[in-house]
Amino acid sequence: MRVTKSTNTLKNASPEDVVQAFSQYPVIRLFMQEQTQFDTLLSFLQDGTEENMQALNQAFRTFYTEMRLIRYISSLIHYTSIDYDKRYRRYAQRFPLTLDEPLTNEDTGGSSKREQVRAMDSDQVGDRLEQLDIDIKLHTAILELTAKEKLILTRIYIEQLTDTEVAKQLELSQQAVSKMKNQALKKLRKAVKDE
């Protein structure tokens, strides 16, 4: 909005007339919403001095620059989020997590392995490891573990709890939980390596 002295028609106009005259221009309407900027416009229209014209031009330049910057940043955020979402979906489609893969059984209702693990009752905690789709040797080795070893491995690797948290839940020392976990893992490694 380059203000010149050719706005003589609005010199003696009321504030309502000024708003009415500029209301067809959305940018100017936004500019006039802030009271200080509106007062600058009115003071120019009433006095029409060179100083008031420069103040109005400077205020509008500042306003318009800020508006363009905000629009640019909004657009940048919008398109960056769309791009991120596309890349994330593409990555998730190429490399699905094992627990997120849908089950093919019709009786599961299209749920994933993760949902099945979460849905199990607490009395089935020891059986969770046995129900995952894993290697036959590993499966038989899991069946040979004690109930406490199965429970500890389930809490640590499926529920992702720390040794200390498992120890508090089972009312054992952290060292005992760590020792039982290591023994169970040693049994599983041995069973998988032996042929």
Domain map (residue ranges) of the chain:
8-93, 106-193
Q: Check residue 77 and give its pLDDT.
A: 93
Any idea which fold 106-193 has?
Arc Repressor Mutant, subunit A (1.10.10)
Q: Check residue 39 and give its pLDDT.
A: 82
Residue 22 buriedness (CB in 10 A; 0-12 / 13-18 / 19+): middle
Q: Could you read off the pLDDT tens digit of each residue along the chain, which spans 195 residues?
A: 444 444 555 556 666 776 677 777 888 778 877 888 878 877 777 777 888 888 888 888 888 899 899 899 999 999 999 999 999 888 888 776 665 566 555 555 556 666 665 555 444 555 555 555 566 777 788 888 898 998 999 898 888 889 999 999 889 999 999 999 999 999 888 887 875
Do the beta carbons of residue 160 and residue 185 sit within 8 Å? no
Q: Check residue 38 and give its pLDDT.
A: 79
Based on its alpha-carbon atoms, the radius of gyration of the chain, rounded to whole angstroms, reads 35
